Every structure is written in structure tokens, then in C-alpha cells.
Amino acid sequence: APIDGRPLTIDGLGKAFGGNQALRGVTLSAQPGQVTALIGPNGSGKTTTLNMVCGFYRPDSGRIHLGDKEIQGSIPYRVARAGVARTFQTPNIPDEVSVLEAVASGRYSTARSSMAATVLRLPGFRRVRAADRAESMRALELVGMAHLAGETASALPLGMRRLLEVARAVVARPQVLLLDEVASGLDEDEVERLADIIRGLRDAGATVVLVEHNFRLVLSLADRIVVLAQGEVIADGAPAEIEHDPRVLGEYLGV
Ligand code: ADP
């Protein structure tokens, strides 16, 4: 496979913020060549889980492995170097940066920093190096935005900015791709395009973790679904099993 995906294994992850126990022993794994969806109501711990994989937060307990490498507690830069890329819920693009420059900034990304922080840290980001340019154009082609390379990124509609955020994650050639609510605010055509892109990355061998509210999208994309509620995994299985799980339906109807 073109992408050398690694299994991501999370074992017994615990995290409290003050007196608020956000995660209570979360255990799950995501395999290369699969989309693993992480779903659950607001506040159930999805983003906190992603943030700990990226090295944004340090877990109170538990282990995270990328392949056989232990990564919990690593700084974001090292996690990114180890091959983990993520998108952010709100694409944060500085004014006057071209689409190409915004994507190229993903080559210098850490898993923590927003697009704005990375672009602004680039030395002479207006002169994207040739190697980065070629790689960035490939990532833009993947999301169907190559023809927009010279446009001002911040002026694009939300759907395009989200696809740009995906291209920016992909350009780092991640082994593990963490997608945080990438479909929210997109119209149906854009969601379909996004779904095709995610399938393409999966089929290329990436380990894809998808945090997503759109249950229909999750059912159409996921090879495996992990359901969180109040910081605990309450269900974990194939879409056909999860779809009819009364606990899962209960959580969703309760939202
Ligand atoms: P989800 O992504 O599923 O909506 P989160 O992971 O954002 O859930 O939140 C899980 C719990 O942790 C919530 O109770 C939330 O308020 C709390 N939490 C998340 N991040 C922080 C933080 N930086 N400081 C304090 N509490 C936090």
C-alpha cells in the first residue's frame, strides 16, 4: 500500500480536568486500511481522546501505541514526526495566504498547532520550496482543489476550507490521520466528495480515525465504530452491530 499505516492502540486512558473525570479507562484500537469512527454525545470525551493521541494533553493513566512505539505523554512535535496528523474543527487560516501555501504549511506541521500558527512560523512562506510544492499539488489534486492553488485560502467557502484542512493533513503523508468533525457545515455534495477522499486514504493504507456527528456518514464510511458516553466506551463493533445497539440509540436519542 502507498501509505504505511500503523495500528493505533489506546489502552485504559484516563483523564480528569479538575474534578471532572473526562475519560474513564478508554480502550480502543484503529487498524491500517480501516476507518475507525469515534462517536458519542457532546462531552463524551471524543476530542479529549484525540488531543491525548496528538500529545496535546498528557493522560493521567493508560497507554497509547503507534505500532509498537509508546507515544503517550510525547510532545506534539514528536507525535507528528512519528506520523500522526489531525485536522481541526475550525479551519483557522490567516488572511492573504494562498491555498498552495496553506497546504504546504502542513509539511511543517506539528499535530498541535493550528494552520495559522504553522503558516506564520514558516520562513518566507510565500516561497514554497519545489519539493513541498509538488507534494502540496498532489494533496490538492486528491481533494479536487488543484485549480484553486493560487486563490486566497481564507476567502474560500467553508466546505472548501475543510477540504483544504484535509489536504493539509494529508500532505505530511501521515500513517495515522485523525479527522475531527470534518463534515460539519458541508453540503451534501461536499460530504460525498469528502467521503470519497477518506475512502481513498483508507484504501491507500492509512489508519483513519474519524470523530463525526453525522451518523449516516459514519455508517457509510466506518469499518468499525467505537461509541463513547461519559468518558467510557459503551460499544465497539462493525456498523451493522452498532446501528441496532439499544445503548447507542439511547445515547443518540438522548442528545
Ligand atoms: P466531546 O469531544 O465528545 O464533545 P470532550 O472531549 O470535548 O467531549 O469533553 C469531555 C469532557 O472533558 C467534557 O466534560 C469537557 O467539558 C471536559 N474538557 C475537555 N477539555 C477540557 C479542558 N481543556 N479543560 C477542562 N475540561 C475539559
Block means of pLDDT (10 residues each) for the chain, length 255 residues?
Answer: 87 96 98 96 94 93 95 87 84 82 79 52 59 89 92 91 90 89 88 92 93 90 96 95 83 56
Q: What is the pLDDT of residue 21?
A: 97
Please check whether residue 144 is in contact with residue 200, taking contact to mean a CB–CB distance below 8 angstroms: no
Q: What is the pLDDT of residue 255?
A: 42
Residues linked to residue 34 through DSSP beta bridges, in sequence order: 207
| Pocket test residue of 10, 48, 184 for ligand 1, highest count of atoms within 8 A of CB | 48
- Tell which atom from ligand 1 comes closest to the C-alpha of 211: 2
Rounded to 5 degrees, φ, ψ at 141 are: -60, -40
Structure ipTM: 0.97
Q: Return the SS3 of 229.
A: strand
CATH class of 1-83+174-255: alpha beta
Q: How far is the CA of 200 from the centre of ligand 1 (A)?
A: 31
* Domain ranges across the chain: 1-83+174-255, 91-173
Q: How far is the CA of 54 from the centre of ligand 1 (A)?
A: 15
Q: What is the pLDDT of residue 198?
A: 93
Cβ–ligand 1 contact at 40 (below 6 Å): yes
- What pTM was estimated for this model as a whole? 0.89
- Tell which atom from ligand 1 comes closest to the C-alpha of 231: 10
Beta-carbon count within 10 A of 181 CB: 18
Q: What is the pLDDT of residue 94?
A: 78
**Spatial separation of the C-alpha atoms in residues 79 and 238, rounded to whole Å:** 28
What's the Cα-to-Cα distance from 24 to each of 12, 20, 21, 184, rounded to whole Å?
8, 11, 7, 27
Nearest to 165 by CA among 132, 198, 203: 198
Q: What is the pLDDT of residue 215?
A: 87
